[in-house]
Amino acid sequence: MEKKPTSGMAVAGLVLGIIALVSSFVPLLNLLSFPFVLLSIIFGAIGVWQTVKGSKGGKGLAIAGLVLGILALVVTGVMYASAAVADSAASSTASVAEGAGETVVAEQDEGSAAYGVTIDGCRVTEDYAGEAVAVVTYTFTNNSEDATSFVVALHPEVFQNSVELNTAVGSNWDSETYLSDVKPGSSTTVEIGYQLGDMSDITVEVSELLDFDGTLLAEQTFSLA
């Protein structure tokens, strides 16, 4: 009986199936394995068809190539799915960790502040010369370990039309309290007058006197009209 020639498609399908299956297990390399997977299945199927017709031999090789190609396809799909799930889980964990870190930092900053201040209000009055003055009321809290005053601890600034206002002198507000020392853990009310240029809005900003980062402890805008 004459021996039938081995199907070239069967051999090619087997070789490509082996390459596809091996590469499908290797990270990054499995990104390139899909063409080998596809070709091994196609060549294996053609090889099986040729051997079934009886024109070629190598049916076992063709079936092996087809099976290896299908296995490589399954492995590649599982690897892709696992990588996607792992990446999603890592992203979720990173987001939670980042949010928690921001909360901790905010709590530490608030708890470690040496001084606290609130901007409680603003009223318009006159100084000794009869000029319009905006009197801003603050509440100063000393969270440090030593007695200190508002003027030593804080740096208030008041802006009108983007220009800083000068402090005023008058008798219609208590202009001495910002010089008084406050014991640790205690608070006091402070009033400071500022010479107005007109009756447009003013913006009050307060930071620590020795804070060179420009971090604001309080900020408030008042309408004088």
**H or E segment at 176?**
none
- Its pTM stands at 0.51
8 A C-beta contact, residue 190 and residue 150: yes
8 A C-beta contact, residue 195 and residue 127: yes
Please tell me the class of the 113-222 domain. Answer: mainly beta
Higher per-residue pLDDT: 1 or 86: 86
Q: What is the C-alpha separation between 41 and 124, in angstroms, rounded?
A: 87
Nearest to 165 by CA among 173, 152, 156, 177: 156
Query: For the residues of 87-122, what is the DSSP string, one character each?
Result: HHHHHHHHHHHHHHHHHHHHHHHHHH-SEEEEEEEE
Confidence bin at 20 (pLDDT 50/70/90): confident
Q: What is the C-alpha separation between 195 and 124, in angstroms, rounded?
A: 10
Considering just the CA atoms, what is the radius of gyration of the chain in Å? 40
Q: What is the C-alpha separation between 133 and 201, in angstroms, rounded?
A: 13
Domain range list for the chain:
8-109, 113-222
Confidence bin at 206 (pLDDT 50/70/90): very high
| pLDDT reported for residue 87 | 61
Structure tokens at 63: 């079936």
**H or E segment at 58?**
none
